[in-house]
Structure 1
Amino acid sequence: MKKLLILLGVISFLITSCEDDYLDVTAPSNVDEDFVFASPADAQKVMNGIYDLWYDLDRRMYYDTEVVGSDSERHPENYSAQQRHIPEGLFASEFDIDYGSSKDTWTECYQIINRCNIMIESIEAKEEYQNDVAAGEPSPWTQVYGEAVAARATCYKLLVRYFGDVPYFNYAIRTTAQTDSLGLSSRDLIYDSEIEALQAAALLMYRLGENNINAERFSGTYADAVIGRMAFDAAGYQLRRTDFDYGSVTFDQIGVENGTWQAKYVRRSDWQRYMELAKTHYLNVVNNPGSARLIENDDRGEGYNNPFQRNFQYLMDLEVSPESIYESGYTRGFNSDFPYSFGRPSGGGGSNAYPTKNYGQARIYASFYYGDFVPEDKRRDVTACVTANSGAASERLIDFSPGSREKGGLALNKLDEARFADPYIAAQRRSGCNWQQLRMADVMLDLAYASAATGDEATAKTYLTQVRSRAFDAEDQTEFVTNYVNALSGNALLDAIAFERKLELAGEGKTRWDMTLYGDMPERIVALRDRQIAMVNGLKTDGFYTFPETGVTISSYIWTKFVDIKDIDPTLNLLTTETPDGLVPSDPTYPVLVPGWRGTSDLWTDYISTLPSDEVNLAIRGLYEYIDPDGTLAAQLEAEGYQRSPWGINMIENESHYTSDIFKGYPDSYYASGEPPRYIMPIPSETLSQSNGLITQGYGHASQ
């Protein structure tokens, strides 16, 4: 995978020390800037330095809240085990305002913003750039300029998501005196200003695939998507301060104002104007995507038929996916938190294991896995896994007991180090797997929602259908795609698109913000908790629970045994196999083929050969059906060498972890009284103290 190189001598002027909490204010002389930006290639080297910072930008808040705090995604440890569970769960208790993840995100976003502003001002002064703008065609100068504008807009988008109304400046800060008058700016001003700047820049940027621009750089395709996203955010419901002046903007409100921490859950009354703008720019993406596309066919040949999984396999092959609109590029042997944190777990050690340790920070709710995915949905087994890698080239059953690695409940399966084309075993967190931050399916479903919200149901159904279709085999299209979509209209269509995003993007950190913007975060929190409680109660009472939406059953116990899959089929590789159509539990291959997309790497043959042949792969029965522990089938399985293994019973034994601790900061009483959800992070103390009183804390957070 091509990586971005950094020439430290060229960009050193941008790697200056902070004289303020969140701004780099030491700047070069004009002579230095003229030298650095002597050519577009020199400016690109500086932009590459920004991309190098981008590898870590947002990773910590994404890790702490976004990919673990929705109605599909959760954390693996006990609530009390980590401070990060407090903001993830909407602040059941007060919180350190200088918490490392939020403080670092604040600081890093503003550092990048100021460096982008320096670039933007310097390039704007160039006669060559001015001539290229006048010519009206993309050029290397206008491209690198647009990349800086896109980076700045993305940083402001993140700041508003996490902190609400924040300081805004679109000019270079070169002295601390320039920060003396900076106060909080309305997010409305931020959205409008950044959208306007990006609209102008996007017209003169290359689309993906043009002039060697791939998805590891910001393209005109990405710029249009960010405009769409910022407009969509501006149209959505958010938490707003009641002690802040939003000028002439009026709001539609859900629930009541919270007088204690002075906030309300609202959207702009003119939200449709922004939703139309989002639709326009999302259409620009899908109608003029450059080389980006939704992967609708699996091109890997016989035995492969899952275009959804194909997208993630590109990442594991260390290739840029054609579905990507932006991937943050990582270098093998140096960095990559993917899949360590967001893939299939491994109990291996820190180095030279098969595979090395994968913590598994993001997990999947059992009620989502069992109750939302119909069995025919090809995304289910790709999204969540029921077995972990042992770290010694074999499978290990996931344990619902709180913890990490094989513990912590159902984990993510979109990335799996055993599934890499060339697995990297030398050290953990060094796989080189890119972070796919934006892909075409995400944009298409946002476009569908924006279209439905503004009354264009035909367009909404077109893109909902396109994304949903690839999740089902041909024989299932009529029931689960055509008839399903055709029956939708009005609010039911909006709800279906929101649900489709939950299915499509689970484990990618998108759903929490969707819940916020759609205005249904409170009801989805309560629905999740009620559903989990019903499941646990069913397990306690009956030993199983069947989800009415899908007819799929989770049981307290399942039956497992190690097998040598080569005895079944010498060519079989479970990592690349999905459940064959029509396979039933009585089929002798069922226990090893259901669920699909698991197993261990055949490339570890030399290591596997040192293991007993029956300690590599697991055969599983009872995962989706209830088997009476005292019944005939259980006795038969045990006679065949299967062992009764704890499954849902471990949720009973950790009941609060799976019920009352869910979104602990938003109890049922809050929902009953219409309280707004408090998801906003605190502003760091140094920013407050150095602002001369112009920047104030909100949302009930402490000021020091």
Structure 2
Amino acid sequence: MLSFASCDDFLDVNPPSGFTPEYVFSSENEIKSFMTQIYSAMTGDGLYGNNLANGLDTNTDVEFKSLSNNTVASGGNDIACFDARPYWSILNDTWNNMYSVINYTNDFLQELESSDLYSEEIAKEGPTEVQQMYGEVKALRAMLYLDLVRTWGDVVFVTEPSVSTDDFFALGVVDRNEILEYLIDDLIAVEPMMKYAADLDYGVERASREYCQALIGQLALYRGGWTLRPDKDSQTNIGYMERGDNFEHYYDIAITYLGKVIKENKHDLGLSFEKLWYNECNWNTANNDDILFAIPMLKGTTSRYGYNIGVTIDGGKHAYGSAKNYCQFNATYLYSFDKDDLRRDITCVPYKYDKDLNQVIDMGFSANGVGKWSKLKMESPLGASSGSNTGINSVRMRFADVLLMYAEAVNERFGPRDDAKEALKRVRRRAFEPSLWANKVESYVESLNSEEEFFRAIMNERKWEFGGESIRKYDLARWNKYNEVIYNLYYEMINWGLVATGTYVPGIEKVPERIFYKAIPDPEHPDRTILDIIGIDEYGAGTGKPEGYTTLNYACDWRVLDQETQQWKTMDGISWSFRGFINVGNDKTVRPTDPLRYLCPYPSKVITDHRGLIRNYYGY
């Protein structure tokens, strides 16, 4: 049976105020009330409500923001093209918000460890509720530090409350490997005293034992993976990619703890991919299915999912309110899917909705809604005047992620072993109709007989599984594939434009030159229209315009006429969207093995506040 949880009551608990720590940490209920302050602090726009959901995205072969010139913007969009600036407020705000919540966790842990109740509870055979909350807050702290490390590299590392700002500002950064090693050991110690989601009130909307296990595995993969390192002799060089020493040990840890999640069988992929996201948009999360942990949000108060990240909806007299999708996919992503992959049409939505809820084409160089989240999926709409705060949870870990990380780790150590193949198969079975499993699942996976073949399949599967979830940038970095993927994507886009306009490019027979679409009646809503689109499943030269359809230029618009030179050239959106790594001005000298600057610079105010103990490298 599926059990569902709702975060409303959990986050509505008022955190204690006006009481001494001795009083607060003498009662389970008061301790839990204090813990809600940590959860609540993570939900705002400055953290998982927006910035860490989408605002700090860098361009990948999945998520993508188009930039049309080499002029630095003032608001922070240039993070996407690897050309960030230390003075941007989004960086400073995110940094400060993360350390504010970390200080809450450090306060909580220190006071709990000092309490008489903790001394009593820690000695009991558990897991008790106090033991669970102790491990829970350590898991939240580890999650925050992982996101700091993935965004900035080496960061300030504190595990005790900062008594004053002077204490904190007197610290420099700590090597990221040292931080990850500490967090891994810290969570291994508390994992046995934690409860499973099925045994928790609010289920997977609290950090559970299985989430802790999965997080240990995730931390281990980052410790065993690659990372961009600064050239300490030069602030102008981008740096170099380096893999952590003894990486095999950390892949073994990942296999152990990700394997625990799988073997303990507390989660599965029972819900269809469509139903999974439908439930998320309706504030229903099963405790035993794909979601392992989701940061709980509050309707009307927090979360931009379904608004900034989702499907665009024009405001009107309908009950759904407006939505303005700011998370797009690059134009080749949709075409990377198998046309029979059920995830494609849930993830990539090539249309938006007008004020009367009719579908309007929204498909271009950097378009497509993220169909996983949509206000139109809500059974109880938020109202015509509703805006950005949908209350849709921020999913931080899925069982599909566990399966694919496990398969990756096993393959890294032992090659494409049977258990690695089965983990990949489990993800693909949900992606295709059962009638196609023999070919799309069994034959496909069993044909992957080398470590390299299997790894490439994992790269692809994670691309198709997690579109719009802002995971791709982190994966590409830890694999040391970010530079190669962006280099290839840049030239793939150029070549699509060339082929679409009649130039022969070896190895490319056809590309989606044009799309054809027309409005037809919506069978579920007779007063609305939906789009019939031709050119996604089948495309290429010789596809004539069907009668009654409208033409949308696609790849053929990626070559444009320069009005000054009267020469055809690649469109600006391709030439400059990756400009911090490769662009029209340097593409003859950049190599796919050159380091790519995916890490953000430390905010200017952080450098000032820490009195010279922190400095920027990577050419910032």
How much does 1:421 deviate? 2.1
TM-score computed with the length of structure 1 as normaliser: 0.78
Counterpart check, 1:316 vs 2:308: no
Q: 1:540 aligns with which of 481, 485, 501?
A: 501
Tell which deviates more after alignment, 676-685 or 506-515: 676-685
Count matched residues: 592
Question: Would you say the 8 A contact 1:539–1:545 is kept in 2?
Answer: no
Tell me the SS of whatever aligns to 1:564.
strand
Q: In the TM superposition, what are the counterparts of 1:36-51 in structure 2 within 5 Å?
A: 36-51=24-39
Give the corresponding residue for 1:419. Answer: 377
How much does 1:442 deviate? 1.1
2: CA distance between counterparts of 1:674 and 1:642? 45
Give the greater-gyration-radius structure (CA). Answer: 1
Counterpart check, 1:393 vs 2:357: yes
Q: 2:11 aligns with which of 5, 8, 25?
A: 5
2: CA distance between counterparts of 1:329 and 1:259? 40
Q: Which runs of 5+ in 1 are unaligned?
A: 13-30, 245-257, 299-306, 402-407, 566-571, 574-601, 609-614
How much does 1:670 deviate? 6.0
Tell me the SS of whatever aligns to 2:518.
strand
Give the corresponding residue for 2:567. Answer: none
How much does 1:669 deviate? 5.0
Counterpart check, 1:531 vs 2:492: yes
2: CA distance between counterparts of 1:622 and 1:531? 19
Q: Which runs of 5+ in 2 are unaligned?
A: 1-5, 562-569
How much does 1:83 deviate? 4.3
Counterpart check, 1:263 vs 2:239: yes
Question: Would you say the 8 A contact 2:269–2:430 is kept in 1?
Answer: no
Give the corresponding residue for 1:368. Answer: 333
Counterpart check, 1:84 vs 2:72: no
Counterpart check, 1:163 vs 2:179: no
Q: Decide whether aligned partners of structure 1 residues 211 and 421 sit closer, same or farther in structure 2, where only a CA change above 3 A counts.
A: same
Question: Would you say the 8 A contact 1:354–1:392 is kept in 2?
Answer: no
Give the corresponding residue for 2:603. Answer: 684
1:254-313 superposed Cα distances (whole Å, 9 cap, x missing partner) = xxxx873362111113111111111111112222354x3223xx5xxxxxxxx1212111
How much does 1:466 deviate? 0.8
Tell me the SS of whatever aligns to 2:431.
coil
Q: 1:328 aligns with which of 285, 291, 295?
A: 295
Q: 1:617 aligns with which of 510, 525, 530?
A: 530
Q: Decide whether aligned partners of structure 1 residues 541 and 206 sit closer, same or farther in structure 2, where only a CA change above 3 A counts.
A: same
1:622-670 superposed Cα distances (whole Å, 9 cap, x missing partner) = 44435889x9x64xx43xx433344445444595344222321112456
2: CA distance between counterparts of 1:88 and 1:73? 9
Question: Would you say the 8 A contact 2:53–2:394 is kept in 1?
Answer: no
Tell which deviates more after alignment, 504-513 or 532-541: 532-541
2: CA distance between counterparts of 1:118 and 1:670? 51
2: CA distance between counterparts of 1:378 and 1:696? 47
Give the corresponding residue for 1:592. Answer: none
2: CA distance between counterparts of 1:314 and 1:128? 38
Question: Would you say the 8 A contact 1:378–1:472 is kept in 2?
Answer: yes
Counterpart check, 1:128 vs 2:117: yes
How much does 1:366 deviate? 2.4
Q: 2:401 aligns with which of 416, 434, 442?
A: 442
What letter corresponds to residue 373 of structure 1 in structure 2? F
Counterpart check, 1:275 vs 2:251: yes
Tell which deviates more after alignment, 178-187 or 500-509: 178-187
Q: Decide whether aligned partners of structure 1 residues 478 and 361 sit closer, same or farther in structure 2, where only a CA change above 3 A counts.
A: same
Tell me the SS of whatever aligns to 1:239.
strand
Q: In the TM superposition, what are the counterparts of 1:292-307 in structure 2 within 5 Å?
A: 292-295=267-270, 298=271, 307=272
How much does 1:354 deviate? 5.9
Give the corresponding residue for 1:432. Answer: 391
Give the corresponding residue for 2:469. Answer: 508
2: CA distance between counterparts of 1:179 and 1:463? 44
Give the corresponding residue for 1:564. Answer: 521
Q: Decide whether aligned partners of structure 1 residues 284 and 82 sit closer, same or farther in structure 2, where only a CA change above 3 A counts.
A: farther
Question: Would you say the 8 A contact 1:400–1:647 is kept in 2?
Answer: yes
Question: Would you say the 8 A contact 1:61–1:102 is kept in 2?
Answer: no
1: CA distance between counterparts of 2:595 and 2:17? 44
Question: Would you say the 8 A contact 1:6–1:49 is kept in 2?
Answer: no
2: CA distance between counterparts of 1:323 and 1:547? 39
Tell which deviates more after alignment, 178-187 or 618-627: 618-627
Question: Would you say the 8 A contact 1:532–1:659 is kept in 2?
Answer: yes
Tell which deviates more after alignment, 110-119 or 423-432: 423-432
How much does 1:378 deviate? 1.3
Question: Would you say the 8 A contact 2:66–2:577 is kept in 1?
Answer: no
2: CA distance between counterparts of 1:6 and 1:147? 19
How much does 1:555 deviate? 2.7
Q: Decide whether aligned partners of structure 1 residues 262 and 374 sit closer, same or farther in structure 2, where only a CA change above 3 A counts.
A: closer
Question: Would you say the 8 A contact 2:210–2:261 is kept in 1?
Answer: yes
2: CA distance between counterparts of 1:381 and 1:419? 14
| Identity of matched residues, % | 23
2: CA distance between counterparts of 1:646 and 1:478? 37
Question: Would you say the 8 A contact 1:377–1:472 is kept in 2?
Answer: yes
2: CA distance between counterparts of 1:219 and 1:197? 15
What letter corresponds to residue 127 of structure 1 in structure 2? D
2: CA distance between counterparts of 1:552 and 1:379? 24
How much does 1:180 deviate? 5.5
How much does 1:524 deviate? 0.6
What letter corresponds to residue 287 of structure 1 in structure 2? K
1: CA distance between counterparts of 2:383 and 2:20? 44
Q: Decide whether aligned partners of structure 1 residues 618 and 516 sit closer, same or farther in structure 2, where only a CA change above 3 A counts.
A: same
What letter corresponds to residue 75 of structure 1 in structure 2? K
What letter corresponds to residue 59 of structure 2 in structure 1? G
Q: 1:182 aligns with which of 162, 171, 176?
A: 171
What letter corresponds to residue 340 of structure 1 in structure 2? Y
How much does 1:165 deviate? 0.8
Tell which deviates more after alignment, 227-236 or 175-184: 175-184
Q: Decide whether aligned partners of structure 1 residues 618 and 545 sit closer, same or farther in structure 2, where only a CA change above 3 A counts.
A: farther
Tell which deviates more after alignment, 74-83 or 222-231: 74-83
Give the corresponding residue for 1:659. Answer: 574
What letter corresponds to residue 260 of structure 2 in structure 1? N
How much does 1:62 deviate? 3.7
Question: Would you say the 8 A contact 1:557–1:649 is kept in 2?
Answer: no
Q: Decide whether aligned partners of structure 1 residues 459 and 623 sit closer, same or farther in structure 2, where only a CA change above 3 A counts.
A: closer
Q: 1:697 aligns with which of 605, 616, 620?
A: 616
Counterpart check, 1:461 vs 2:421: yes
Please tell me the root mean square deviation across aligned C-alpha atoms, in Å: 2.8
1: CA distance between counterparts of 2:294 and 2:34? 19
How much does 1:9 deviate? 6.0
Q: Decide whether aligned partners of structure 1 residues 564 and 690 sit closer, same or farther in structure 2, where only a CA change above 3 A counts.
A: closer
1: CA distance between counterparts of 2:424 and 2:229? 31
TM-score computed with the length of structure 2 as normaliser: 0.89
1: CA distance between counterparts of 2:158 and 2:550? 63
Q: In the TM superposition, what are the counterparts of 1:68-217 in structure 2 within 5 Å?
A: 69-75=59-65, 78=68, 83-91=75-83, 95-179=84-168, 181-217=170-206
Tell me the SS of whatever aligns to 1:454.
helix
1: CA distance between counterparts of 2:593 and 2:341? 35
Question: Would you say the 8 A contact 2:331–2:364 is kept in 1?
Answer: no
